[in-house]
Amino acid sequence: MARVELKKLRKSFGMVEAVREADVAFEEGSFNTLLGPSGCGKTTILRMVSGLETPSSGDILIGGRRINDVPIHKRNLGLVFQNYALFPHRTIGENIAFGLKYRNVSKADVARKIRESLDIVRLPGVEDRYPSQLSGGQQQRIALARAIVIEPDVLLLDEPLSALDANLRGEMRVELKAIQDRIGVTSIFVTHDQSEALAMSDKIIVMSAGRIEQIGTPEEVYNRPLSEFVASFLGTSNLLDARVAARTNEAVVLETPEFGQTPVPLSHAASLGEGPQARLMIRADKLTLVPRGGEGTEAVVQNVDYQGQLARYFLRVGETELQAMNMIDGMPFGVGETVALRLNPDACVALPMSGAAS
């Protein structure tokens, strides 16, 4: 395993700047996720690290060694793609062994390595089968086995779960992280799925329009976003115009028509500037509904998205539309019902009006 560093990495396609001076380090043995919508530059970064794209400027270092000009076959990287990229006319054993073909490995060692990699992905004894004889989830495991059989310094995964159905994705998500923990390889994972990123990552790099918006642990980027984009992309958020009513050594007090004065902890206001205007971010799962007459802000239920144990409520407070997600025991509140809304100030975030981190 090796540390990976990107230093002012940039990639342009004609007039389009796909990646804008990315600066980030991926620690040895860590699982890192590049997260963002389509076209944000995350796959372009992965392709530059792999050698499939050449940077316009900046440096890529693996284990402290600059690899910009190192050919792809000499970078010792494991690659797993969205479409598996298995050879249909070759057996599973031949597919896995493909990466060992030019590595001067004896036949006995090739057979041993195939068995070991199949044991790691929990598919022993399938060497003589063909890809068409395996399910989608099994084929994805074979693609992973082929990537790890070469004992790579870095494992690169480009949306490897997106072709699977929802239930299988959940299972493979757990399995993939368990395998990565077991082999301890530095991994860079590309996805647009926030639940995958939050569940699997040691570090998340949130991207938008070619630039890195925020780098942090899942807990940091979810609970303490630095911009409106990050707040909106991860989870369901309510963003309210606010005025800075006061600043103390412990909190920034934001005032909104909907909730009055809310003391937001300074740790949740890291990107807020010195001006009087701000945005108050409240996660939908941090708003609690209680029956009318209870303590809180009065709201009217406009719609209900019933999800079994959860209900997603669409609410109106005056002229403001809000969303709340609450666990329920029995029937949810009904459409047209008036309820009281409670928020936890410690779960709120103060953001600059521009939505950009300062």
Q: Which residue segment(s) compose the domain that 240 sits in?
A: 228-351
Question: Which pLDDT belongs to residue 166?
Answer: 79
Boundary-marking domain end, from 198, 223, 248: 223
Whether residue 279 is found in the same domain as residue 316: yes
d(CA 52, CA 279): 41
Residue 292 in contact with residue 338, Cβ under 8 Å?
yes
Can you tell me the mean pLDDT for 310-320? Answer: 94
Question: Which pLDDT belongs to residue 355?
Answer: 44
d(CA 67, CA 47): 13
- The yes-or-no verdict on residue 251 having pLDDT over 90 is yes
Residue 268 in contact with residue 224, Cβ under 8 Å?
yes
- Percent of the chain whose pLDDT exceeds 90: 80
Region of residue 239 (left: phi > 0; alpha: psi -120 to 50; beta: else)? beta
Q: Which of 212, 230, 159, 213 has its CA nearest to residue 188?
A: 159
Give, in order, the Cα–Cα distances in Å from 2 to each of 7, 76, 99. 16, 11, 19
d(CA 144, CA 176): 9
The radius of gyration computed from the CA coordinates of the chain, to the nearest angstrom, equals 24
Boundary-marking domain end, from 173, 204, 223: 223
Query: Which helix or strand (DSSP H or E) is residue 197 part of?
Result: helix 194-200
List residues bridging with 262 in a β-sheet.
Answer: 254
The CATH number of the domain holding residue 308 is 2.40.50.140
Q: Which of 318, 320, 325, 316 has its CA nearest to residue 347?
A: 325
Question: Which pLDDT belongs to residue 120?
Answer: 93
Residue 352 in contact with residue 346, Cβ under 8 Å?
no
**Neighbouring residues of 146: CB distance < 8 A, sequence distance ≥ 6:** 86, 95, 96, 98, 99, 117
Boundary-marking domain end, from 190, 223, 256: 223
Whether residue 172 is found in the same domain as residue 284: no
Whether residue 247 is found in the same domain as residue 269: yes
Residues 141-197: pLDDT tens digits? 999 999 999 999 999 999 988 878 878 888 888 889 999 999 999 999 999 999 999
Number of domains in the chain: 2
pTM of the complete model: 0.90
Whether residue 216 is found in the same domain as residue 260: no
